[in-house]
Copies of this chain bind each other. A is one copy, B any other.
Amino acid sequence: MGSSRSTIRDVARAAGVSVSTVSLVLNNKGNVSEATRRRVLKAARELGYVPLRTARDLSKQRTGNVGFVLREDHFTRSEPFYTYIFLGTEFEARLHSLYVLLTTIPRDYRKGEHTPRFLRERSVDGLLIAGKVSAVFLEEVRAMKLPTVLIDYEAEGFPAVVIDNQGGARVAVEHLIQQGHRRIAFIGADLRHPSIADRLEGYRIALERAGLSVDPALVLVDDEAEPTRATGQQLGARLLALAERPTAAFCANDALALGVMETLLQAGLRVPDDVALVGFDDVQGATQAPVPLTSVRVFKEQMGELAMRHLAERIGPEQTRRPYARGQHTIVAPTELVVRASSARV
């Protein structure tokens, strides 16, 4: 009936050694003869021994948890972008024997009021923050001196894992150029968001490298709007109204691109024949669009993995916490262009 789980003492008794020896074996530490090591491992296996986390963590002076924070509106939006990132962190966490505590914070974060519980209770060894969050929150985190890694966002003093926005955009636009396009529009929203600004920069670089000039009239941006489908529809209308219409458009994200596409199709234009379109993010809806959308794919799980790995390195084991090495701070996750019908050869 040996119902309740077995402890390290049981293993020690079964193997005929001391508790400390068992611990040493199980943690690959100290000098243990091959013979004893085997006896211990055998006993542990036979008893189905699994160390108790709470005991181990208490002893090791750590919590064994990391927090994953993102804005609620980001988490619940229909494109599961951050959900995939979370899954990536969860996957990598296993390799470091960490548990991930996921929590959301409101868009308009107020200090004490919304502080995640695990921060108040100090029951995480490190923190992952996904997406743009309130500066107030970042301040609070900074003050806690907790190892932290940002994902898909950047802020002074924090290491981060970000999309290669500029590179991805460049490749996308180079693709359009290669398809023979010369008049290529940029469709964007709020440029204060670093990702969008970087994508615009990638657009510029691609044009310049190809010896094409950047026509300001073709940079269609609504600086007050979010990069949504609705915004895309409006910008699509502006594109239609242009005196000299471009033959292609690179959109800062897929939502915008799908909005533009909708407007164009409704106006009777054809994609890609009249206007070719390329988006960014490769969301689920990209394949199901009326004209499947060429887009820049982002490896979301991979970003989560990279962030978690980086965080785990910072956390331990054994105050390995190296001094901040400026420049090694930001990890850039690669992208990939996925070509579909919306940019087929002219």
Q: Which residues of A contact B (CB under 8 A)?
A: 5, 50, 52-55, 57-58, 63-65, 72, 75-80, 83-84, 86-87, 90, 94, 99-104, 117-118, 120-123, 284-285
For A72, the chain B residues whose CB sits under 8 A away are 87
B80 touches A87 (CB 8 A): no
A76 touches B84 (CB 8 A): yes
Assembled-state Cα–Cα distance A55/B59 (Å): 9
A83 touches B87 (CB 8 A): no
The 8 Å CB contact of A50, one of B64, B78, B80, B122, is B122
A100 touches B99 (CB 8 A): no
A79 and B76 in contact, given A50-B121, A54-B63 (Cβ under 8 angstroms): no
A78 touches B76 (CB 8 A): no
For A79, the chain B residues whose CB sits under 8 A away are 78
B99 touches A101 (CB 8 A): yes
Query: 10 tightest A-B contacts by CB?
Result: A54-B58, A54-B57, A53-B123, A78-B78, A76-B80, A58-B58, A54-B54, A55-B58, A102-B102, A76-B83
For A78, the chain B residues whose CB sits under 8 A away are 78-80, 284-285
A94 and B117 in contact, given A5-B122, A99-B123, A101-B100 (Cβ under 8 angstroms): yes
For A122, the chain B residues whose CB sits under 8 A away are 5, 50, 52
Assembled-state Cα–Cα distance A256/B165 (Å): 37
Most chain B CB within a 10 A radius of its CB, from A55, A77, A78, A79:
A78
Residue of B nearest to A118 (CB): B99
Assembled-state Cα–Cα distance A100/B65 (Å): 11
A65 touches B99 (CB 8 A): yes
B83 touches A102 (CB 8 A): no
Residue of B nearest to A78 (CB): B78
Closest-CB distance, A127 to chain B (whole angstroms): 15
Assembled-state Cα–Cα distance A52/B121 (Å): 7
